[in-house]
């Protein structure tokens, strides 16, 4: 089989995957104040692989004012190894309600990865949100949503889905 034929077949599969991504829906698992995360987050409930979305509720300020304040606090130099704000996403974000998409990620163990985003200490070198270690976020309400993607070819499929969803949702924090 030639490389060109393999390339053609992969292109056809990518088209199929793009159409399937349109049908994927996030399921909400948790909604709580970051201050209450210890008693409300149960990582075992997310014992599967796939995509997760962390959103933050902004029901008080116009988005432009909220994001300006958030940016000042998030970029505090005392926060170590934190994901950066994505200016392009902030500029392209189209909010449907008061929930701001904060971060989207993938993991073979979603519960464990979201646990890191919530509870890792500020000094840990792991690249994570470390939400509980940021005093300015203590009273903010977050929502954790997931898409369970139970596939054998995780490393080939899920990164592509994550990228497509990131481009659609425009989370305001992340590497890409």
Please report the pLDDT score of residue 81 as a whole number: 72
Model confidence pLDDT, tens digit, residues 130-173: 999 999 999 999 999 999 999 999 999 999 999 999 999 999 99
User: How far is the C-alpha of 166 from the C-alpha of 158, rounded, in Å?
Assistant: 12
Task: Report, as an integer, the average pLDDT of 106-117.
Answer: 97
Domain total in the chain: 1
Q: 42: domain range? A: 25-169
Question: Quick check: is 16 in a domain?
Answer: no
Model confidence pLDDT, tens digit, residues 17-45: 999 999 999 999 999 999 999 999 999 99
Question: Quick check: is 10 in a domain?
Answer: no
Question: Quick check: is 6 in a domain?
Answer: no
Please report the pLDDT score of residue 176 as a whole number: 60
Question: Quick check: is 77 in a domain?
Answer: yes
User: How far is the C-alpha of 41 from the C-alpha of 32, rounded, in Å?
Assistant: 8
Contact 42, 95 (CB under 8 A): no
Question: Quick check: is 15 in a domain?
Answer: no
DSSP state for residue 138 in the 8-state scheme: T
User: How far is the C-alpha of 129 from the C-alpha of 110, rounded, in Å?
Assistant: 14
Please report the pLDDT score of residue 30 as a whole number: 97
């Amino acid at each position: 089989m030639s490389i060109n034929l393999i390339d053609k077949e992969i292109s056809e599969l990518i088209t199929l995957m793009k159409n399937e991504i349109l049908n994927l829906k996030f399921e909400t698992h948790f909604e709580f104040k970051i201050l209450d995360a210890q008693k409300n987050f149960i990582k075992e409930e997310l014992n599967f692989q796939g995509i997760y979305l962390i959103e933050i509720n902004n029901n008080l300020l116009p988005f432009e004012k909220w994001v300006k304040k958030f940016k000042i606090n998030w970029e505090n130099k005392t926060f170590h190894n934190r994901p950066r704000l994505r200016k392009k996403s902030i500029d392209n974000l189209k909010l449907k309600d008061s929930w701001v998409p904060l971060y989207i990620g993938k993991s073979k163990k979603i519960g464990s990865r979201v646990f890191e985003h919530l509870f890792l200490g500020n000094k840990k070198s792991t690249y994570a949100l470390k939400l509980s270690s940021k005093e300015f976020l203590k009273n903010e309400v977050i929502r954790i949503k997931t898409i369970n993607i139970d596939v054998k070819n995780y490393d080939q499929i899920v990164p592509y889905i994550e990228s497509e969803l990131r481009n659609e949702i425009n989370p305001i924090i992340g590497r890409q």
